C-alpha cells in the first residue's frame, strides 16, 4: 500500500527528460533530407542533372582508387552503382546525424557542417561535364532549406528539454508535440517531394520520345548470320546477344539523356578542317551493318563482360577523312557527354581493312540508352575502355604523348587490344551432371583475327579438338562444343583457343589490370 502511493506521487512530479542526443541526430537527418528534397525538386524544374546524391556519387566514381573499385565490382557485380548510391546515402545520413548532435551541443557548429556539405555537393554538381548555367541553384537552395530546418528543429528541441528540466508537465507535453510534429511533417514532406521529383525527373525525359520517333535510313548492306552460326544448346550463349542481356559497363550513375536533334559530333585537334556534324549529317553518310563482339578489360577469364551484336553505323575513317588528319597524330581521344574519354590508336580507326564505326543501332533498333544513344563507337579488337565511347560527342585527334584518357591515370594501359579468350558456358561449375554423354560448350573470341580452333583438355589429358559454329566474321565470337562421355567423379575441363594466325591463347594468368586478363579457364564439374 505504501509503495503504491510513492509510485503515484513520483509519476506526478517527475517529467521524463527526452533523450536529446537521439532527437538531435534525427533532426540532423531530417534537415539533410529537406536539403536533398528541395534540391531534387528544383533540379527537376531548372537543371535536370543537378542532383546532389548523383553528383557526389559520380565524383566518388571518378576518384576512388582502382583496388577499391575492383573490390566494389567483386562484391556487388552489376549492382555496384546501386551499392555506391546506397553508400553515399548512408554516409550522408551519418554525417547529418553528427551535425544534428553537434548543433544541439554547440550552437551553429551543425549548421556550419551542413553548409559545408551543401557547398561540397554544389562543387560536385557545377564541375561535372555538361553542367548547365543554373546547376548551382538546386544545391544552394537545398542547403538554405536544410539549414533552416535544422535551426527550427533545434529551437523546438531546446524548448522541450527546458520544459522537462523545469519539470513543467504541461509545457513538456506541448513542446514535445511541437518538435515531433515539425520533424515528422518535414520528414514525410521531404520523402514525398524528393522521391517524387526524382521519379518525375527520370520519367519526363523527352529523349525517350525522341528515340521512339527516330527513323533511321535503311542499312545499305546487312550482316548475314550463317545458318549454323548459332547452336541452341542449354546453357550456351546465343551467337547474337539480345540487347536486354548485353553487359553494361560505364562510369555513368544516371544514364545520359542525349537528344539526337541537338546532338553534335565535333572533330578537332590535329586536323586540317575541324568539323561539326549533326545526327542527320552522320546517318546520311550511309549506314551499313557490322557484326562485332565487344569485350570489357574487366572481364576475368571465363567471365561474362562480353557480348556480340549486329551494329548499324558508318566507318569512323570516313568522318576523319572529312576533317583531314595531320601526319604526326597517332591517337584519337573520344569524349562522351558525361566527360568519359577513351584513347584509341589512330591506325585502328583509319585502317581500311578494319571497320571501326560510329554505331547508331544495335541488333536492329536505335541504341538503347544504356548502350550509348544516340551514337557510340565500336572498334573491333580493342577493349571497350580504349575504344567504345558511348554517348560520344567529340573526337580530338592528338598524340599519346600529349593526351591521356579517363582510365589511363587510374591504372589501366593507354592501349589495350583484346586478348584472345575462350570460356566454358556449360556444364556450369557447381551444377551436378549425370554420367553419360554430356555436351561441353562455350564461346571463344580472337578479334579481329578470328578463331581457328578451340581445344579442351579433360583432367589434364591431351588437348582435343572441339567443333566450332560457323563464324559470322573474324570480329565476332564463335560457339564451340565437345561431346564428352562423363564418368562419375569430379573432373576438370580446361579450354584454350587458337587464332587464324596460329597464336595460342596466352596460358600465363594475368589479372584484368593493366591491360586485360589472360590464362586458360579450368572448370570443375561433378558427375554422379
Ligand X SMILES: Nc1nc2c(c(=O)[nH]1)N[C@H]1C(S)=C(S)[C@@H](COP(=O)(O)O)O[C@H]1N2
**Cβ nearer to ligand X, comparing 298 with 498:** 298
* Dihedral of the alpha carbons of 60, 64, 69, 71, in degrees to the nearest 10: -110
- Asked whether position 296 contacts ligand X by CB under 6 A, the answer is yes
Does 380 interact with ligand X (rule: CB under 6 A)? no
Torsion angles phi and psi, residue 502, rounded to 5: 85, 5
Contact positions with ligand X (CB under 6 A) in 390-449: 390-391
Which grid cell is 93?
545520413
Q: Which of 340, 358, 477, 520 binds ligand X (CB under 6 A)?
A: 340
Asked if 16 and 5 count as a contact pair (C-beta separation under 8 A), the reply is no
State in angstroms the smallest separation of the CB of 305 from Mo ion: 7
Q: Report the residue number, 374 or 384, with the smaller CB distance to ligand X.
A: 384
Kindly report the number of other CB atoms within 10 A of residue 221's CB atom. Answer: 10
412 binds, among ligand X, Mo ion, none (CB under 5 to 8 A by kind): none
The dihedral over CA atoms of 7, 13, 14, 17, expressed in degrees to the nearest 10, equals 150
| 179 touches ligand X by CB under 6 A | no
Interface stretch with ligand X, choices 107-115, 135-143, 215-223, 380-388 (CB under 6 A): 380-388
Mark the segment that binds ligand X (CB under 6 A) among 103-111, 388-396, 452-460, 483-491.
388-396
Q: Which residue has the cell 542533372?
A: 49
**CA quadruple 248, 251, 254, 260: dihedral positive or negative?**
negative
What phi and psi, each to the nearest 5 degrees, are found at residue 381? 90, -5
- How far is it, in rounded angstroms, from Cα 159 to Cα 175? 6
Please enumerate in sequence order all residues whose Cβ is within 8 A of that of 513, keeping only pairs 6 or more positions apart, or say none. Answer: 66, 70, 297, 411, 412
Judged by CB under 6 A, the residue of 186, 201, 389, 498 near ligand X is 389
When CB distances are held under 5 to 8 angstroms depending on the partner's kind, the choice from ligand X, Mo ion, none that residue 522 binds is none
Under the criterion CB under 6 A, does residue 515 sit at the interface with ligand X?
no
Residue 290's CB: how many other CB atoms inside 10 A?
A: 24
Longest Cα pair distance anywhere in the chain, in angstroms? 104
453 part of the interface to ligand X, by CB under 6 A: no
Q: Which is nearer to Mo ion, 51 or 389 (CB)?
A: 389
Region near ligand X per CB under 6 A, out of 47-55, 244-252, 343-351, 503-511: 244-252
Determine the Cα–Cα distance for residues 209 and 276; give it in Å rounded to an integer: 25
- Exposed, middle or buried: residue 185 (CB in 10 Å: 0-12, 13-18, 19+)? exposed
Task: Tell me which stretch binds ligand X (CB under 6 A): 9-17, 104-112, 249-257, 285-293.
Answer: 249-257
311 binds ligand X (CB under 6 A): no
* Residue range at the interface with ligand X (CB under 6 A); choices 163-171, 245-253, 271-279, 438-446: 245-253
Pick from 148, 146, 149, 158: which is nearest to 23 by CA?
158
CB of 508 closer than 8 Å to CB of 301: no
Stretch that binds Mo ion, among 35-43, 156-164, 292-300, 485-493 (CB under 5 A): 292-300
Which of Mo ion, ligand X, none binds 472 (CB below 5-8 Å, type-dependent)? none
Q: In 3D, which of 230, 250, 251, 254 has the Cα closest to residue 242?
A: 230
Q: How far is it, in rounded angstroms, from Cα 61 to Cα 337? A: 16
* Stretch in the footprint of ligand X (CB under 6 A) among 158-166, 203-211, 344-352, 385-393: 385-393
Q: Does 385 bind Mo ion (CB under 5 A)?
A: yes
Each residue 244-273 as x (binds Mo ion by CB under 5 A) or -, in order, gives: -----x------------------------
Strand partners, 332: 344, 397
Options 6-14, 48-56, 333-341, 462-470: segment touching ligand X (CB under 6 A): 333-341
Position among 39, 193, 294, 356 found at the interface with ligand X (CB under 6 A): 294
**Contact call for residue 61 and ligand X (CB under 6 A):** no
- Cis status of the peptide bond prior to 100, with omega within 30 of 0: no
Alpha carbon distance 442, 237 (integer Å): 7
What span, in angstroms and rounded, lies between the C-alpha atoms of 66 and 482? Answer: 38
User: Which residue in the set 168, 205, 230, 251 belongs to the binding site for ligand X (CB under 6 A)?
Assistant: 251
Query: Which residue sits closest to ligand X, CB atoms considered?
Result: 384
Q: Rounded to an integer, what distance in angstroms lies between the CA atom of residue 54 and that of residue 222?
A: 40
Cell 554423354 belongs to 437
Q: Is the Cβ of residue 385 or residue 477 nearer to ligand X in the bound state?
A: 385
Q: Are strands 264-269 and 392-398 parallel, antiparallel or unpaired?
A: parallel
* Rounded least distance, CB 442 to ligand X, Å: 20
Partner from ligand X, Mo ion, none contacting 294, C-beta within 5 to 8 A by type = ligand X
Q: Which does 250 bind (CB under 5 to 8 A by kind): ligand X, Mo ion, none?
A: ligand X
As measured in angstroms, the least distance from the Cβ of 359 to Mo ion is 16
Per-residue contact string for residues 7-36; x = within reach of ligand X by CB under 6 A: ------------------------------
User: What would the grid cell of residue 308 be?
Assistant: 556480340
Structure-block grid coordinates of residue 208: 525517350
48 or 248, CB closer to ligand X? 248
Helices (H), 346-491: 346-350
| Residue 246 sits in the site that holds ligand X (CB under 6 A) | yes
H/E/C letters for each residue in 120-152?
HHHHHHHCCCCCCCCCCHHHHHHHHHHHHHHHH
Q: Does 296 bind Mo ion (CB under 5 A)?
A: yes
336 touches which of ligand X, Mo ion, none (CB within 5 to 8 A by kind)? ligand X
Stretch that binds ligand X, among 155-163, 266-274, 389-397, 440-448 (CB under 6 A): 389-397
Applying CB under 6 A, the residues found at the interface with ligand X are 246-252, 294, 296, 336, 338, 340, 371, 384-385, 388-391
Applying CB under 5 A, the residues found at the interface with Mo ion are 249, 296-297, 384-385
Amino acid at each position: 500500500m505504501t509503495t503504491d502511493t510513492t509510485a503515484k506521487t513520483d509519476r506526478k512530479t517527475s517529467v521524463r527528460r527526452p533523450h536529446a542526443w537521439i532527437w538531435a541526430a534525427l533532426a540532423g537527418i531530417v534537415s539533410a533530407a529537406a536539403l536533398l528534397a528541395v534540391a531534387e525538386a528544383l533540379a527537376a524544374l531548372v537543371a535536370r542533372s543537378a542532383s546532389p546524391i548523383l553528383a557526389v556519387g559520380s565524383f566518388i566514381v571518378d576518384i576512388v582508387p582502382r583496388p577499391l573499385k575492383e573490390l566494389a565490382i567483386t562484391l556487388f557485380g552489376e549492382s555496384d552503382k546501386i551499392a555506391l548510391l546506397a553508400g553515399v546515402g548512408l554516409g550522408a545520413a551519418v554525417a547529418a546525424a553528427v551535425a544534428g548532435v553537434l548543433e544541439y551541443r554547440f550552437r551553429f557548429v551543425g549548421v556550419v557542417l551542413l553548409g559545408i556539405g551543401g557547398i561540397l555537393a554544389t562543387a560536385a554538381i557545377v564541375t561535372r561535364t555538361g553542367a548547365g548555367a543554373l546547376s548551382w541553384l538546386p544545391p544552394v537552395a537545398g542547403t538554405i532549406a536544410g539549414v533552416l530546418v535544422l535551426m527550427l528543429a533545434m529551437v523546438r528541441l531546446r524548448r522541450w528539454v527546458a520544459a522537462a528540466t523545469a519539470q513543467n508537465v504541461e509545457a513538456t507535453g506541448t513542446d514535445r508535440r511541437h518538435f515531433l510534429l515539425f520533424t515528422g511533417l518535414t520528414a514525410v514532406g521531404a520523402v514525398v517531394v524528393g522521391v517524387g521529383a526524382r521519379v518525375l525527373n527520370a520519367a519526363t525525359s523527352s529523349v525517350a520520345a525522341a528515340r521512339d520517333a527516330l527513323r533511321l535510313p535503311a542499312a545499305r548492306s546487312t550482316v548475314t548470320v550463317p545458318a549454323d552460326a548459332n547452336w541452341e544448346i542449354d546453357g550456351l550463349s546465343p551467337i547474337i546477344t539480345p540487347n536486354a542481356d548485353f553487359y553494361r559497363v560505364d562510369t555513368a550513375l544516371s544514364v545520359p539523356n542525349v537528344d539526337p536533334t541537338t546532338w553534335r559530333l565535333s572533330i578537332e585537334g590535329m586536323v586540317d578542317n575541324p568539323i561539326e556534324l549533326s545526327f542527320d549529317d552522320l546517318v546520311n553518310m550511309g549506314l551499313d551493318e557490322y557484326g562485332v563482339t565487344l569485350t570489357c578489360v574487366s572481364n576475368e577469364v571465363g567471365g561474362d563482360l562480353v557480348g556480340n551484336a549486329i551494329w548499324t553505323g558508318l566507318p569512323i575513317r570516313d568522318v576523319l577523312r572529312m576533317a583531314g588528319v595531320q601526319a604526326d597524330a597517332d591517337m584519337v581521344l573520344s569524349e562522351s557527354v558525361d566527360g568519359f574519354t577513351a584513347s584509341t590508336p589512330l591506325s585502328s580507326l583509319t585502317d581500311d581493312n578494319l571497320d571501326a564505326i560510329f554505331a547508331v543501332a544495335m541488333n536492329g533498333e536505335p541504341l538503347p540508352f544504356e548502350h550509348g544513344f544516340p551514337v557510340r563507337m565500336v572498334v573491333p579488337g580493342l577493349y571497350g575502355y580504349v575504344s567504345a565511347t558511348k554517348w560520344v560527342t567529340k573526337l580530338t585527334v592528338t598524340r599519346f604523348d600529349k593526351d591521356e584518357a579517363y582510365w589511363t591515370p587510374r591504372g589501366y594501359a593507354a592501349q589495350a587490344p583484346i586478348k584472345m579468350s575462350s570460356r566454358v558456358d556449360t556444364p556450369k561449375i557447381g551444377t551436378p551432371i549425370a554420367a553419360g554423354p554430356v555436351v561441353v560448350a562455350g564461346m571463344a573470341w580472337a578479334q579481329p583475327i578470328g578463331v581457328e580452333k578451340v581445344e579442351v583438355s579433360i583432367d589434364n589429358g591431351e588437348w582435343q579438338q572441339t567443333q566450332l559454329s560457323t563464324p559470322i566474321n573474324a570480329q565476332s565470337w564463335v560457339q564451340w562444343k565437345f561431346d564428352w562421355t562423363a564418368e562419375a567423379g569430379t573432373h576438370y575441363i580446361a579450354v584454350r583457343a587458337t587464332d587464324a594466325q596460329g597464336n595460342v591463347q596466352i596460358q600465363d594468368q594475368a589479372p584484368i589490370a593493366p591491360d586485360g586478363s589472360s590464362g586458360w579457364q579450368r572448370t570443375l564439374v561433378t558427375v554422379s
